Amino acid sequence: MAPRTLILTTNPGIEDIVAEEATARLGARILETRTGHGRVIVSLDEDQLYLVSYMKSIHRARLLLSRSSICGGHSCLEKVREAVLESGVEKYITPYTSFAVRAERVGKHSFSSLDVARVAGDAVIEAVSRAHGARPPVDLDYPAVVVAVDVIHDELFVSIELGGELSWHRRGYRIYDHPAALKPTLAYAMIILSGIRDGETLMDPMCGGGTVAVEAATLLESSRIICMDRSRRHIGGARLNARAAMVENRIRFIVGDAARLSSYVDSVDVIVSNPPYGIRMGSPREVRRVYHSFLREAVKVVQKSIVLITTEHKTVRQVLEREGWSIAHERRVAHGNLYPYIIVARPG
Ligand SMILES: C[S@@+](CC[C@H](N)C(=O)[O-])C[C@H]1O[C@@H](n2cnc3c(N)ncnc32)[C@H](O)[C@@H]1O
């Protein structure tokens, strides 16, 4: 089977988790990890392509058709036309296949991403017309095929979105939309970083709409999963999400206060959680109070690791170190327009 090159996109900050999953799940060879840019370029056999839709750490996967260099001036748009014409895009689009071009541009150029999309769109029509004798229809709202054209500084990538428009992190189970929901890709990364093994117990004591719990239940077949939140409404929503993901009976739901954690559970192997960010909570003193009371309880029940995503990493570090725990790992990730840290702490 011929090897194919894919661009896997994800949350900036978890590219290494994507590379690990691509190797383990797809048997892919990692060609390039663009740390901080949310992109991992891999090569894999064509007959393994279908496995990409099972990946939990990616937003999108694109089949790379061409990669070349590009300059920054307006006349360099001609390079976009040439690259699309030479990419073989006509193998994926016929006069009966609607298409749209989505363009992204990063860096300094004297053209815009709209210019790139316009030139690339015309080139797709030219390539398909030459090959099949008729033009393909453009459908910007519901295209059958999406051609992605990215200009990243001096590089030009032409690719086809696998799975069309749908970003794969928008898993189908989000029936209840928590106002501060975590991206499932980040939840997955945190579960992996916790070092949990199948069969061990995972708890999210501030689980909101249940993203961590649902991801854990779909990943760990025989683990006990506990989802707790002090809001009855959010627990109701988490239950709905778990039902939609068909894992409701794998999760124990508790309406409860994380500041009294040890009164609900005796022992869990890992806590993986996304507590409220200070930025959204108002006073710094109130933030510290919530984190202090939660973490002092957490260390009483957790055996293996506590993994948090938070902007309050300094407070977390301070409290846990005072409790005799050590920070095993810390990394910054992008989450919407915020840049929180994922912190992994272990006893001792
Ligand atoms: C950032 S949200 C979690 C979102 C969740 N990860 C998701 O994807 O839907 C934080 C949650 O912590 C809950 N919370 C805040 N303080 C709490 C406490 N003391 N005990 C339990 N839950 C708490 C809030 O109700 C909120 O749902």
Tens-digit pLDDT profile for residues 147-192: 999 999 999 999 999 976 655 555 678 889 999 999 999 999 999 9
- Ligand 1 pocket residue status of 182, Cβ below 6 Å: yes
Fold of 184-347: Rossmann fold (3.40.50)
Fold of 3-162: VC0802-like (3.30.2130)
Give pLDDT, residue 337: 87
The two domains 3-162 and 184-347 share their CATH topology (first three levels equal):
no
Q: What is the arithmetic mean of pLDDT over 40-64?
A: 93
- Reported as a single tens digit per residue, the pLDDT across 96-149 is 999 999 999 999 999 999 999 999 999 999 999 999 999 999 999 999 999 999
Going by alpha carbons, the residue nearest to atom 7 of ligand 1 is: 181
Give the CB-side neighbour count of residue 145, counting CA atoms within 13 A. 22
Tokens 């570090």 sit at which residue?
317
Query: Cβ atoms within 10 A of the Cβ of 246, count?
Result: 12
- Ligand 1 pocket residue status of 174, Cβ below 6 Å: no
What torsion, rounded to 10 degrees, do the Cα atoms 138, 141, 143, 147 define?
Answer: 80
Residue 237 CA, closest ligand 1 atom number: 9
Question: Which range (117-121, 138-142, 232-236, 305-309) has the least confidence?
Answer: 138-142
3-state secondary structure at position 251: strand
Percent of the chain with pLDDT over 90: 88
CA distance 335 to 123: 35
Residue 208 CA, closest ligand 1 atom number: 27
Sorted by where each begins, the domain ranges of the chain are 3-162, 184-347
- Reported as a single tens digit per residue, the pLDDT across 266-293 is 999 999 999 998 655 667 788 888 899 9
What distances in angstroms separate CA 119 from CA 76, 85, 96, 149, 281, one per listed residue?
A: 11, 11, 21, 10, 46
Give pLDDT, residue 286: 82
